[in-house]
């Protein structure tokens, strides 16, 4: 989809649709007031008749508004004047995009960024407009044969700014928004692909497509024999029940100086999690194709920062395999030796994410990272604790954790911190190895992070448990592309800081 920025007299816009905001008690935004003047009170009349329901996010279509050049006007209700905040702005943009999609409108002029939002500047509003519109218009098509393309789709959104002084800033921000939206889309596509297509080798090939033609990117893919040579016993223990060979994918983006330490993103890449011998119940097991959403978010974030040409070094590390039951599969009670040398008693083969991540986190030491952030659909317990709104966040470095919390607030892709206290470590004790891979029902998200913390002592590290936020269930089932917006915002801030230093 194309986004352009304009500063145009809206009466003369001969577009299919102009989108303007209106407030409670028949109050109008500047552009709505302009249309009302041109049409000699038409807009206020409609509002007075009461056709439009109250509440931010309600919409009303108007056709052939007198003396305007556009075919339609879309009124979007913005609640009380002077009270727009982050959440309501996002809500009204979402409402606009949904209305444009459902009416199969191909082109529109959006005047919403002119609205005043508490503590937010034009750049923020433009970026949110772009990313939310792309999010709403996304559709998965790879494996659907009926012609979903038949219906017209929004091809162009013109963003109207209040003054010509704002054109340059808004245009720059459209670029940022498009880069983030493209990263989010890539992450959704990979997540939504069926697990018979999106295998560990497929993820490696996808990383190759991202690296292709970009001289700043470098890809290394390790195969089973390389993984064995590195003594990644925990990763191999998970992979052994599957006919699909594992992959260890390292995709680096070198936009910074040669000696700048990289920020490392580690993504859980279980392309299907049946639970293994500790097999999961059948209900909704298909959703375990999404168990590679951490990996997908690493690829999406890397694609975005490459498009943004950020002046930093970022390395994506993706341990990837399937978790399946088999005659050769790992059994509850098996003890394996991780790459770190620490031994692990695998009491539950369904706690496989931490097993592939622990070896990846040990491997990261050789990169001498500035920081490591792992992203994983790690625990059902996180969905119970935080629901679908916030990712769980735990780490060994308060500054890093705070940077990620802030990035989440800026983008609406929020995370919430849980404690990583040593008190929880006791739950991983066992008589038969250095640690067990499960810590019982209590504090399941925390004990999973405690397990990872034993492998991340040499660098600043944070862990994002995205089990609740990576995809939606039910009739609207689909990947969300989270936490790509959070990750890109975090990296953009880091890039800004290193440019200033």
Cis amide leading into 185 (omega within 30): no
Please identify which of the residues 156, 280, 472, 477 carries the catalytic annotation. 280
- Position with the least CB separation from Mn ion: 350
- Nearer of residues 287 and 434 to Zn ion, judged by Cβ: 287
Q: How far is CA 370 from the centre of its chain?
A: 22
Q: Is 353 in the site for ligand BES (CB under 6 A)?
A: yes
- Nearer of residues 27 and 388 to ligand BES, judged by Cβ: 388
Question: Going residue by residue from 231 to 270, which x/- string records binding to Zn ion, judged by CB under 5 A?
Answer: ---------------------------------------x
* Catalytic residue status for 409: no
C-alpha atoms less than 13 angstroms from C-alpha of 316 in its C-beta half-sphere: 37
Candidate residues 350, 374, 403, 489; the one interacting with Mn ion per rule CB under 5 A: 350
Q: Is 345 in the site for Zn ion (CB under 5 A)?
A: no
Residue 444 interacts with, from ligand BES, Mn ion, Zn ion, none (CB under 5-8 Å by kind)? ligand BES
How far is the C-alpha of 75 from the C-alpha of 52, rounded, in Å? Answer: 9
Query: What Cα–Cα distance (Å) separates residue 230 from each residue in 35, 234, 338, 354, 362?
Result: 67, 11, 10, 18, 10
Report the site for Mn ion in 225-284 (rule: CB under 5 A). 273
Q: Is 187 in the site for ligand BES (CB under 6 A)?
A: no
How far is the C-alpha of 449 from the C-alpha of 337, rounded, in Å? Answer: 19
Residue 192 interacts with, from Mn ion, ligand BES, Zn ion, none (CB under 5-8 Å by kind)? none
The DSSP line for 70-121 is: SSEEEEEE--STT---HHHHHHHHHHHHHHHHHTT--EEEE-GGGS--TT--
Candidate residues 251, 344, 346, 381; the one interacting with ligand BES per rule CB under 6 A: 381
Residue 381 interacts with, from ligand BES, Mn ion, Zn ion, none (CB under 5-8 Å by kind)? ligand BES
Q: Among residues 358, 80, 415, 94, which one has the least CA distance to residue 233? A: 358
Candidate residues 273, 359, 403, 465; the one interacting with Zn ion per rule CB under 5 A: 273
Report the site for ligand BES in 91-150 (rule: CB under 6 A). none
Q: How far is CA 201 from the centre of its chain?
A: 22
The DSSP line for 282-335 is: STTGGGGGGGGHHHHHHHHHHHHHHHHT-SSEEEEEEEEEEE---TTS--TTEE
Q: How near is the Cβ of 276 to ligand BES at its closest, in Å?
A: 9
Q: Are 465 and 353 in contact (CB under 8 A)?
A: no
- Nearer of residues 278 and 480 to Zn ion, judged by Cβ: 278
Q: Is 297 in the site for ligand BES (CB under 6 A)?
A: no
Q: How near is the Cβ of 276 to Zn ion at its closest, in Å?
A: 10
Q: How near is the Cβ of 379 to Mn ion at its closest, in Å?
A: 9
Q: Is 438 in the site for ligand BES (CB under 6 A)?
A: yes
- Position with the least CB separation from ligand BES: 380
Those residues whose C-beta lies under 8 Å from the C-beta of residue 171, and which sit 6 or more positions away, are 5
The DSSP line for 167-205 is: HHHHHHHHHHHHHHHHHHHHHHHHHHS-TTTS-HHHHHH
Stretch that binds Mn ion, among 65-73, 76-84, 158-166, 347-355 (CB under 5 A): 347-355
- Nearer of residues 189 and 273 to ligand BES, judged by Cβ: 273
Please identify which of the residues 185, 354, 454, 482 carries the catalytic annotation. 354
Give the CA angle between residues 86, 92, 94 to the nearest 5°.
100
Q: Is 465 in the site for Mn ion (CB under 5 A)?
A: no
- Residue 441's Cβ-count burial label (10 Å; 0-12, 13-18, 19+) is exposed
* Catalytic residue status for 188: no
Q: Among residues 276, 297, 317, which one has the least CA distance to residue 471? A: 297
Report the site for Mn ion in 472-501 (rule: CB under 5 A). none
Q: Is 351 in the site for ligand BES (CB under 6 A)?
A: yes
Stretch that binds ligand BES, among 257-265, 380-388, 428-436, 475-483 (CB under 6 A): 380-388
How far is the C-alpha of 216 from the C-alpha of 446, rounded, in Å? Answer: 37
The residues of the shown chain that bind Zn ion, judged by CB under 5 A, are 270, 273, 291, 353
The residues of the shown chain that bind Mn ion, judged by CB under 5 A, are 273, 350, 352
The residues of the shown chain that bind ligand BES, judged by CB under 6 A, are 273, 291, 348, 350-353, 377-381, 383, 438, 444, 467
Catalytically active residues are 280, 354
């Amino acid at each position: 989809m194309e986004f352009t920025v304009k500063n145009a007299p809206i009466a003369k816009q001969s577009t299919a649709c102009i989108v303007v905001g209106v407030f409670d008690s028949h109050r109008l935004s500047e552009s709505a007031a302009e249309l009302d003047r041109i049409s000699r009170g038409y807009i206020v009349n409609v509002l007075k008749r009461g056709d439009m329901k109250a509440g931010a996010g309600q919409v009303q279509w108007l056709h052939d508004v007198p003396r305007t050049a556009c075919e339609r006007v879309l009124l979007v209700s913005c609640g009380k004047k002077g009270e727009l905040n982050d959440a309501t702005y996002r809500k009204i943009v979402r409402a606009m995009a949904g209305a444009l999609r459902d009416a199969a409108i191909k082109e529109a002029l959006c005047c919403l960024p002119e609205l005043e939002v508490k503590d937010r500047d034009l750049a923020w509003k433009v970026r949110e407009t772009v990313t939310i519109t792309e999010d709403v218009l996304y559709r998965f098509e790879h494996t659907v044969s009926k012609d979903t393309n038949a219906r017209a789709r929004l091809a162009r959104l013109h963003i109207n700014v209040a003054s010509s002084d704002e054109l340059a800033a808004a245009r720059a921000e459209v670029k940022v928004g498009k880069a983030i939206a493209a990263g989010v889309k890539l992450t959704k596509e990979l997540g939504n692909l069926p697990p018979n297509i999106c295998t560990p080798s497929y993820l490696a090939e996808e990383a190759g497509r991202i690296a292709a033609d970009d001289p700043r990117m470098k890809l290394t893919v390790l195969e089973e024999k390389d993984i064995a040579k590195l003594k990644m016993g925990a990763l191999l223990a998970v992979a052994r029940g599957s006919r699909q060979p594992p992959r260890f994918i390292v995709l680096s983006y070198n936009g910074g100086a040669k000696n700048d330490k990289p920020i490392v993103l580690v993504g859980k890449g279980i392309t299907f999690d049946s639970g293994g011998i500790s097999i999961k119940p059948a209900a909704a097991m298909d959703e375990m194709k999404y168990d590679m959403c951490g990996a997908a978010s690493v690829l999406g974030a890397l694609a975005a920062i490459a498009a943004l040409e950020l002046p930093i070094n970022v390395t994506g590390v993706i341990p990837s395999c399937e978790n399946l039951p088999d005659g050769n599969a790992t059994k509850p009670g098996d003890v394996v030796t991780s790459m770190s040398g620490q031994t692990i008693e695998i009491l539950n083969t369904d706690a496989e994410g931490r097993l592939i991540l622990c070896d990846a986190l040990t491997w990261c030491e050789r990169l001498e990272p500035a920081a490591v952030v792992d992203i994983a659909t790690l625990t059902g317990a996180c969905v119970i604790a935080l629901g679908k709104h916030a990712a769980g966040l735990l780490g060994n470095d308060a500054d890093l954790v705070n940077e990620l919390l802030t990035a989440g607030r800026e983008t609406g892709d929020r995370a919430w911190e849980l404690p990583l206290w040593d008190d929880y470590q006791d739950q991983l004790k066992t008589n038969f190895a250095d640690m067990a891979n499960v810590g019982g029902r209590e504090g399941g998200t925390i004990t999973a992070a405690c397990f990872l913390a034993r492998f991340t002592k040499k660098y600043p590290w944070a862990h994002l448990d995205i089990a609740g936020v990576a995809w939606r269930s039910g009739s609207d089932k689909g990947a969300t592309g989270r936490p790509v917006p959070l990750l890109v915002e975090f990296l953009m801030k880091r890039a800004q800081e290193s440019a200033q230093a």
